[in-house]
Structure 1
Amino acid sequence: MKKILALGLAAGLVSLAACNNTPREQAADNIEANTEAVADNLEDMADDATTTAAENNLENQADAVRATGQNQAEDMRTNDPDTNLANGM
């Protein structure tokens, strides 16, 4: 399963690199793709969990990873990483 995911992720990154996006947009897309892959793995683990509590915990982790990835990607797209304008510095 991990090998298939790694190959799919690599293929996705190669296809993203072929686009005419700016480097910042590519980086944001890569952040989203990577966190989506991690969240998908956590959800797969949740499906195999033996207890409801473990399943809920893994689902919550997947949601948190997705949200973090989306926030980081959005920050990458909208803020200058050299000046860190998001927090006023």
Structure 2
Amino acid sequence: MKGLKTAGTLLFTAVLLAALSGCEKEGPAEQAGKEVDKAMEEAGEQIEQTGEDIKEAAK
């Protein structure tokens, strides 16, 4: 049982290291995508705040 746990831990570590070694520096497309995501999130927050302001004004 202990050997199986050790083997599982070694396998997990190997997979994690392989995944991390595949990471590369972000390219322009990834950076642009993050900027778009950020802008969309901010726009959504502003829309939500506007909706709340309208509800308060209607009271």
Query: TM-score normalized by structure 1?
Result: 0.34
Higher helix share: 2
Query: TM-score normalized by structure 2?
Result: 0.50
Larger RCO of the pair (alpha carbons < 8 Å, separation 6+): 1
